[in-house]
């Protein structure tokens, strides 16, 4: 953090990041209701493991394609309005899921949930790009990426209690009501930098973020797909998203089915790897800023933690696939999730190093599109593999392989920053030099 900025700016920066973290935590609590209610929903609706996987995949495919226009909307409209109203709508969709009686209506409610949840991460990227200097974006990125883990960490025992006390339908409704209260907090507290009074030193610190950039238009958004680094991020995110949602959807089911843990105990044990994910996210964010301030290039300082985290996570995931005792499996899964979150902070911070300032949310949402395509394949394929083999061993091995491939895309294919300004054209991944905009 630059020493010349005022305490007032620091407070405003971290309040904004804290609120984004809060919104993402609510986002993940809502989307995790399916994982927590897994067995009860299967019993109630007569579903197989593949059926639960199909519900999650329906959520993921909707989320993935909704990401594509959402980043452009965030870049044009701003974080405050889009995240705030999205929080209202996704909370309503979450509550509606508990009121429907059949598989198809539950599927439709999950798809609506996905549609309205998708501004959260692009909005957080836009927030950090607006409030922080490029070299100082790793720590706040590590904080808001913690939101997902904090949501599951807090939400898992809370939802387990609600599930056992009220049933899965009432659990869905109560969680939706909590989200509506969260929307009131968001609108009351969140502000954009342009709407705040800042000291001259603070404006100087943020001046680099106000540099005139190519405007966020549909035509310029399409140009992003001409760049090699953009495709490396899409494909890398596809593979890392596969692993993220393998754990995100199936961790409770893995403990219950593979290790015969009771539902009540699952809520406690699942907190261990989720807690490790929190520390992994924070460590990854600190690592990127440390490298950037140590003189490592901005893009490289974000790539190195990403690649190292993915390779280490793959190693521990592979060890978990070959370990059949509960204690050993829990240790390896926890280590894998720590390293995966470490990498996740790296590749989210990489967005603000790769993207033009005016297109930060757009690049973030396109990367997230790739992640949730992987998140669409992962729950369904994992469910099919578990149904066929009666075990999670092969499913974990597939996840480990996906992380190695992700490390290749982030390490080799992602290379230079995207520049859309006239006269600063980057080599195009698809067609040679990108045309002038």
- pLDDT per residue as tens digits for the range 348-390: 899 988 988 778 888 989 998 999 889 888 888 988 898 899 8
Integer angstrom CA distances of residue 41 from 26, 259, 269: 21, 20, 21
- Domain of 170 in residue numbering reads as 7-433
Residue 61 lies in a domain: yes
d(CA 368, CA 371): 5
- pLDDT per residue as tens digits for the range 156-168: 888 989 998 999 9
CATH number at residue 394: 1.20.1250.20
Residue 1 lies in a domain: no
Q: How many domains does the chain have?
A: 1
Residue 305 lies in a domain: yes
d(CA 22, CA 18): 6
pLDDT, residue 421, reads 55
Residue 91 lies in a domain: yes
Q: Is the CB of residue 147 less than 8 Å from the CB of residue 22?
A: yes
Backbone angles phi, psi at 2, to 5 degrees: -60, 135
Residue 399 lies in a domain: yes
CA 374 to chain centre: 12
428: helix, coil or strand?
strand
Can you list the residues of the chain whose pLDDT is less than 50?
A: 1, 212, 422-437
pLDDT, residue 84, reads 93
Backbone angles phi, psi at 264, to 5 degrees: -60, -45
pTM of structure: 0.77
- Length of the chain, in residues: 437
Residue 233 lies in a domain: yes
pLDDT, residue 401, reads 97
Residue 73 lies in a domain: yes
By CB neighbour count within 10 A (0-12 exposed, 13-18 middle, 19+ buried), where does 181 fall?
exposed
Residue 306 lies in a domain: yes
345: helix, coil or strand?
helix
d(CA 122, CA 104): 29
């Amino acid at each position: 953090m630059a020493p010349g900025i005022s305490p007032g700016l620091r407070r405003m920066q971290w309040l904004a990041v804290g609120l984004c973290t809060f919104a993402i935590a609510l986002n993940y609590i809502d989307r995790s209701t399916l994982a927590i209610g897994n067995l009860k929903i299967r019993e109630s609706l007569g579903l197989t493991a593949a059926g639960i996987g199909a519900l999650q995949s329906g959520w993921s495919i909707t989320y993935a394609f909704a990401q594509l226009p959402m980043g452009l909307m965030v870049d044009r409209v701003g974080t405050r309005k889009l995240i705030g109203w999205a929080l209202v709508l996704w909370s309503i969709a979450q509550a509606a899921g508990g009121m429907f009686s059949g598989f198809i209506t539950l599927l439709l409610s999950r798809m609506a949930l996905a549609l309205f949840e998708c501004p959260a991460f692009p909005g957080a990227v836009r927030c950090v790009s607006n409030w922080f200097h490029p070299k100082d974006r790793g720590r706040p990125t590590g904080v808001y990426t913690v939101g997902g883990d904090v949501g599951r960490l807090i939400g898992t025992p809370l939802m387990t209690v609600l599930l056992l006390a009220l049933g899965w339908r009432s659990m869905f409704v109560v969680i939706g009501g909590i989200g509506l209260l969260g929307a009131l907090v968001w609108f009351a507290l969140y502000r954009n930098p342009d709407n705040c009074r800042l000291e001259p030193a603070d404006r100087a610190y943020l001046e680099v973020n106000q540099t005139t950039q190519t405007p966020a238009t549909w035509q310029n958004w399409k140009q992003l797909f001409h760049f090699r680094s953009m495709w490396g991020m899409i494909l890398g995110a596809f593979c890392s998203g596969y692993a993220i949602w393998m754990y995100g959807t199936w961790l409770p089911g893995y403990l219950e089915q593979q290790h015969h843990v009771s539902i009540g105990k699952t809520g406690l044990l699942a907190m261990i790897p989720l807690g490790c994910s929190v520390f992994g996210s924070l460590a990854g964010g600190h690592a990127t800023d440390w490298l950037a301030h140590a003189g490592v290039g901005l893009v490289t300082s974000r790539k190195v933690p990403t690649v190292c985290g993915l390779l280490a996570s793959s190693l521990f995931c592979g060890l978990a696939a070959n370990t059949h005792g509960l204690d050993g499996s829990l240790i390896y899964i926890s280590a894998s999730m720590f390293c995966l979150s470490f990498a996740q902070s790296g590749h989210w911070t990489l967005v603000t190093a790769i993207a033009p300032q005016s297109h930060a949310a757009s690049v973030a949402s396109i990367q997230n599109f790739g992640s949730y395509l992987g998140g669409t394949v992962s729950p369904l394929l994992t469910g099919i593999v578990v149904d066929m083999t009666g075990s999670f061993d092969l499913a974990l091995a597939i996840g480990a392989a996906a992380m190695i491939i992700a490390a290749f895309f982030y390490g080799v294919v992602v290379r230079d920053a995207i520049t859309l300004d006239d006269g600063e054209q980057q080599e195009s991944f698809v067609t040679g030099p990108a045309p002038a905009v």
